[in-house]
Every structure is written in C-alpha cells, then in structure tokens.
Structure 1
Amino acid sequence: MFAPAHAQQVNILSYNVHNCIGMDKEYNYRRIANVISQTSPDIVALQELDSVTVRNKGIHALGELEKLTGMHGTYAAAIPFQGGSYGIGILSREIPIKYKIIPMPGREEKRTLIIAEFKDYVFCATHQSLTPEDQLLAVPLIEKALQNVDKPIFMAGDMNSAPASVPQLELAKHFATLNDTTSYTFPADRPNRCIDYIYGYSKNGYRFDVQYRKVIEDTISSDHRPVQVIVQVKGK
C-alpha cells in the first residue's frame, strides 16, 4: 500500500476548532489561523469544520484556514449538515501523495478518519464518537486500515475519551501517546480533562523521540486548546 521511508523531525498540531467559533461565540477564522501559525506546524489535524452550511453562511471553513495559514487542506465530511457538510480536515506543508477516508462508528453522529500519505510518513486525523462503545469499535477499524503501511504513522485528533479509559488502553497496545495527557485540553477556559491526543504507531516497528510537547494556553479561540508535539522518528 505504502512504500517504506524514514521521517525527519515532524511538528504536529491537533486542534478541535469548534468551527472557528470562540468561547466568546464569535466566528473568527483569522484568530484560529494565528494560533495555528504561531506553532509553525508541519501538519495539523482539525476537528469540527463546516463546509458551505447555512450557519457558516456558505463558507468552507478549511478553505479559509488554508488561505490564512498558507497550508494545504484535505477535508473529509462526516455528516451532511444544513445544505453542506460537517467534518474534519488536515492542514499540511506538503501536498499529500494520496489520501483515503474511512468511516468510523458514531451512534450520535457518524465519524470519520483521514489517512494521508506524505513522502516521509503517513498521517491520520480523526474525531471519535462520544460513545465509549463506538470508540472501542473504532480501534480494530483503525488497525485494519494501517496494517499494510510501512512508513512511520502518526494519528491525531479529538478522541472524546480519558487517558485511562478502555478505548485508550486498547489503542495503547499499538499506539504510543506522544502528548502529555496530564496537560488538559478541554474546556479551553478552564480545562479539566485531556481528550485530544497525538500518537505514534508502534506496531510496524518505528520508535518516536518526543523533543517538545505542549498544550497551547489559548482560552478564547475555540472550546478546546490545541496540542503540539515535535517528534523525531527513530528507524526500525
């Protein structure tokens, strides 16, 4: 499926942007773009993006963030919504070689996973269900989608589960959590839990040296705080 390669240092951000609506209830794409740009990421997993919906006044949120950050956007609709769609996305410095979209379980609303291949690594972005049973059902689906990948793999997103939860413990069998889960990400103004994660996939033999990690202390731009990790991939 994917040919082997070796990654260099990668600066990763995961950010649930709440459709670019801040804690002050204001739509502000530039504010979100500034938060992203200040971290100088190579790649970003984004959650809660409207695309040409009524409430978004016909704006493609990821397209706005592309223009404002100068990065390339890859979008995946999770559900139809108000004449458009609602989903997740990736912003990247490089244009993906290819990507695919995998449906994920979600009884309250359908969920999705983007798997994008780049020259030196594969990046997965997701926003998991609020329901623990669905989160657990998603784990083997993610595993199956990655079983033939022989590049370093990262995954990032809003997982809607605590570090000690059963879904996280199941993921931990093959994914190394790279962010500090004692640094809370939600809610942005007074965070009291970690539900946003960045992972390295360990099953295919790659190892990950975390050089820097931080939850960005932004209390206004979204209802989540963004999570940043700078990681060096160690070969097999």
Structure 2
Amino acid sequence: MKSLRKFIFIIPLLLVCTVVWGCQSGSDGDDGGVQPSKKGTLRIGSYNVYYCKSNTGTPAYTDQNTQNVATVIDALDYDILSVQELDSGFVDRQNKRYLLADIASKTKKKYRYIYGPAHEFGTASVGVGVLVNADLKVLSTKKVALPGEEKRALLMVEFEDFWFIATHYDLIDANRVESSKIVMQEIKKINKPVYLAGDLNINNTTNEAYNILAQSFVPVTPLTYNDGKVKNTIDYVLYSDNGTGNKPVFKGSKIETEMKLGGKLVLSQVSDHPPIWVNIEK
C-alpha cells in the first residue's frame, strides 16, 4: 500500500455534461422502489457509509458489510458520489484495508476512486472520497484542510463544466462556521459552477454555517426526509453557479430512506445515514 500521507487519486476518462436552466425540487417517487437514473441525465449524490460497519447494533468490519454498501451504490446508479466516513490502513480493520478502493471493487458499475485523507493516525487515516463513473473525465483534484476535533477536509474534483466538492463537516458549530467560510473562499478561486455534497452536520437552514453557504449555494436535494418520519437532514447536495449564470435542469432528487434492495438487506441497517441523489440534465 502506498503511503497514506499522500493525496490519492485516479484519473478517469471523458465527461460530457451540458448545464442549462430549470429546477425541480422534492422527491422522485415515494413507493420505496429504487429510482433508476434517467436517460440523458447525470446522477450525483452523497452517502455517509458509516465505515461499512453496518447499522445493526453489532458493528463489524466485514466484506459483506462493504458489499452491502456497494449494492446500495449500484442500485442508485450514481455517476459522481461523495462518500464520507472512510478509513485506510488500520490494522484492526480487515488488516489495513483501503475502504474506498474496496467499495469500488465490489460495485458492478466501474468506478474510479479519489480518496482524501483528512485525519491521520500514524500510517492510517480517515477521510472523504469521491466515486466517479469511469466514462467521465477528471481534469484536476485538490484537497483543502478543514477544522475539526477530528480533522476534516474538502475534496475538490474538477470536471469539464463544474467542480464537485465532497466534504464532512465537524460536530462542533464553530468549526462548521469556519468550514463554510473556507468553502466560500475556495470557490472564489475557480470560475466554474460548483456542487457541494456531503454530511454537513447542519440540521437546519437558520444557523450561521448554512447561511454563509446560502450566500452562493442553493439546495438541490430535499431538506427533509421523504417518509415524513424525520423533519430535517444533515446530508446535502448544494449548487452554486459561482457567478457564471449557469442554471442546470434538475430532473428529480431524493433522500432514500426505505429503498427496497431485495433479500434480507435493509437500507437502514447498511448505514446510519440515507443515500441522497439528484439527476442533472446533460
């Protein structure tokens, strides 16, 4: 295994995405069935995978639990996915596994993976990642440190028509506020639209950390769970035209809470977070 102190990425192939105006908010079906990505769209999203240890009350770092996460990702047919709560190099977790690579190896769809270690423990680390459809082209990548009791990071990935930023904010409010300020500073350095996707640990839209982002970003995934049982969310995909005037057409979005996966696999037992997605018209 290569040194985990280095930012690890793999460069994919070609991205074709044309961004135009229009926005449809809310869910894309609520019958519990898997909503496939629509033809002519790009599906992006976010999933906190809980270190692939399951949400059954009996955590375990097993191949089966990693496979379960991969099954969810395959079912939702993502093109670009922000992945949080990843680890690499821990002796007690399947002998120094590289979790993002393990997830990618178990999906049926071919993904390239980009890992951004945020907090290091000797030669091991935890961090965030991005899975990218192998047919899409990555132009550049950048990692930016964020504050946290456990260090956090922005993992920035440039595509032809936009930047995609994966992140996982800290639990402390002051650190979230500072993180949002850093996001705003970073997007001023680039001249493309931006998607910010991840677990922001922000459960309402009236606090300072969210309001800082709202100076430029708008939510393109629902702000409440679709099943009506939970009235807020901490997992987001936000969009900023970043001064370009580009206004994409969003063809449905959802926070999956009761997705049927077949067999005995129950979505709520795979992770303690639901996967979220939005379709963007190409």
TM class by shorter chain equals 0.7 to 0.9
1:48 paired to 2:85? yes
Aligned length: 224
Match of 1:7 in 2: 18
Work out which structure has the larger RCO, using CA pairs closer than 8 Å and 6 or more positions apart in sequence.
Answer: 2
Q: CA deviation at 1:172?
A: 1.0
Match of 1:26 in 2: 60
Contact 2:146–2:152 at 8 Å: present in 1 too? yes
- The letter of the residue matching 2:46 is S
- The letter of the residue matching 2:192 is K
Question: Given the two structures, how large is their TM-score scaled by the length of structure 1?
Answer: 0.88
Q: CA deviation at 1:149?
A: 2.1
Q: Distance in 1 between matches of 2:175 and 2:226?
A: 23
Match of 2:126 in 1: 86
Give the aligned CA root-mean-square deviation in angstroms. 2.1
Instruction: Provide the secondary structure at the position in 1 that maps to 2:185.
Output: helix
Contact 2:177–2:208 at 8 Å: present in 1 too? yes
Q: Distance in 2 between matches of 1:168 and 1:152?
A: 19
1:194 paired to 2:243? no
- The letter of the residue matching 1:60 is Y
Gaps of 5+ in 1: none
Deviation per CA, 1:80-136: give whole Å up to 9, x if none: 136411111000012522101000111x11110011111232110000111111111
- The letter of the residue matching 1:227 is I
Instruction: Provide the secondary structure at the position in 1 that maps to 2:125.
Output: strand
| Closer, same or farther: CA 152–131 of 1 in aligned 2, 3 Å | same
Query: Which structure carries more strand by proportion?
Result: 1
Q: Distance in 2 between matches of 1:182 and 1:135?
A: 20
Q: Distance in 1 between matches of 2:85 and 2:151?
A: 12
Contact 1:200–1:208 at 8 Å: present in 2 too? no
Deviation per CA, 1:133-184: give whole Å up to 9, x if none: 1111112211221113222211100000113222112211100111111117
Q: Distance in 2 between matches of 1:194 and 1:214?
A: 12
Contact 2:17–2:42 at 8 Å: present in 1 too? no
Q: Distance in 2 between matches of 1:203 and 1:77?
A: 26
Deviation per CA, 1:10-32: give whole Å up to 9, x if none: 21120000111111223311100
Q: Distance in 2 between matches of 1:153 and 1:171?
A: 12
Gaps of 5+ in 2: 1-15, 20-40, 258-266
State percent identity of aligned pairs.
Answer: 29
| Closer, same or farther: CA 126–144 of 1 in aligned 2, 3 Å | same
Question: Given the two structures, how large is their TM-score scaled by the length of structure 2?
Answer: 0.74
Larger CA deviation: 114-123 vs 13-22: 114-123
Q: CA deviation at 1:192?
A: 5.7
Match 1:211 to one of 229, 237, 251: 251
Contact 1:184–1:194 at 8 Å: present in 2 too? no
Q: Distance in 1 between matches of 2:175 and 2:248?
A: 28
Q: Distance in 2 between matches of 1:72 and 1:61?
A: 13
Instruction: Provide the secondary structure at the position in 1 that maps to 2:268.
Output: coil
Deviation per CA, 1:176-206: give whole Å up to 9, x if none: 1111111179xxxx75630000011133222
Match of 2:102 in 1: 64
